[in-house]
Structure 1
Amino acid sequence: MRIATLAGRTVLLTPTGAVDVHEAGRGRFGPDPSAVYSDWQAFVEWAASAALPAGRPFAPASLGAPVTEPGQVFAIGLNYRAHAAEGGLDLPVEPPVFTKFRTSITGPNGDLALPTATVDWEAELVVVIGRETRHVAAADAWDHVAGLTLGQDYSERTRQLVPPAPQFSLGKSFPGFSPIGPAVVTPDEFADPDDLEIGCAVNGEQVQKTRTSDLIFPIPVLIERLSAVLPLQPGDLIFTGTPSGVGVARNPQRFLTAGDEVLTWAEGIGELRQRCVPGTPYAPAP
């Protein structure tokens, strides 16, 4: 099952097009994209048994963020060995966790406004939680996942790394810095949801590519570690970390500039596309 947002409404993407969930369910589920995650089990049961109408044609570029109002957004740092190595850092013994504030979330296609000359790319697989999750063992974690989507953890490196105390969450939360989509894909759609190709290209040049089987802390372990501390709620997002190939670790360093086009992809999920444009200038306080 592929769940998306079209014109602000929840749709299922089928071989014939987009099916409006509110209309097909005769009002059982609201049109708001957050509605299905708050009643996930009922939604899955309905979708499995419903005789869906033929879908309507749609333009892929018109899709919005498939999750618009997550209660919590978790982001994991240093979760690929090669990414830790390119930064000259030891492998973590616990998942490093920060957040991306939800006002930075946007859809899979559109402009990315650059507030500075030090904005970087970070392709990431994103987990969407499907039911309340507290003290859940890794062996049971996939039962709590609604699906997987694709994300970019765009990062303004100057703000992120300002001394003496880095500001990861602020540096990664400018408007538009958290595009996700194009759809949330349920785990049953994948041969192995723990082993997907993910990558990123800038102006057609591949800058990142790996498989999620290389994660230091796989998705079930992330859910186990996070839920041991606090409850995860339906619709929450977990950005699982980026592979090697980020601009800040290159020699010389490379950052995004106006006119650049960023393509991000994940096997079985789809693509994100952003075109970089000038943004409102930002300068950290001295």
Structure 2
Amino acid sequence: MGIRLDQNAYGKNAIRLSKIIRHPGRHEIRQIGVDISLQGDFDAVHVEGDNSKVLPTDTMKNTVYALAKYRLTDSIEEFGLVLADHFLVHNPQLSAVTIDLAEECWVRMHFDGTAHPHAFVNGGSEKHLARVSRDRKGLVLSAGIGDLLILKTTDSGFEGYIKDAYTTLKETPDRILSTLCEVYWVYAGVPEGPAALYPAIREQLLRSFAYHQSLSVQHTLYAMGEAVLKEFSMVKEITLKMPNRHHILCNFQPFGLENNNEVFIATEEPFGYITGTVVRD
């Protein structure tokens, strides 16, 4: 019976950097994290301990910092393409490279209607995501949003579901819908100007969430994905993860009070976990 090495990869994760872009009279701040994964001809290092084809992960980290000096000037999607190209060009032993990027959302402070030139406030947990998966034959470019905390106080219900001996959940035509959403969309090729596409797709997702008459989280997930595909021809598929942050109506009956969808118990655990990918036929 033979034994062989199967699929494998290695890389460097959690490479964090901040970059100040200095314009006359104002600054930009970029704060990103980068994960790198390399695949290729690495049998010898695993089986024989031969490191001759191994690019040290510390070198990967230094490469990110060095290339950021001149090449991190626009979108993280474009910076990811730069990194993937660099590793493939300079390492013939590689067959594929995956670069995952996440950018913190810093917003410029405003005072008396004027933007401050170098002071910023963090936009919360939300992150701009990007992924470049490149091999010797081509590439797949994705972008997305992580930790997007969204909520609406009405236009959401949940009724008509299965009820068995263990069901205690009551039907409701009117409830809070809240989720800590993660979204990834895949581009059909490499679009011109991903820096401009990203906020437009984000706005479409938020608009769909806000105005959709939701009959379930699944119903809204599909509507959000469908809206993006209809509006943006360069997107070929979109995946959404929408964990349901439950808001349970507080029982005021023991106090002789009515609760007209006003006071809720907000819970983070346990939570419903809904995912789906919407694609073109």
The TM-score, its normalising length taken from structure 1, stands at 0.29
Q: Which has the higher contact order (CA 8 A, sep 6+)?
A: 1
- Whose radius of gyration is greater, 1 or 2? 2
TM (norm. structure 2) is 0.29
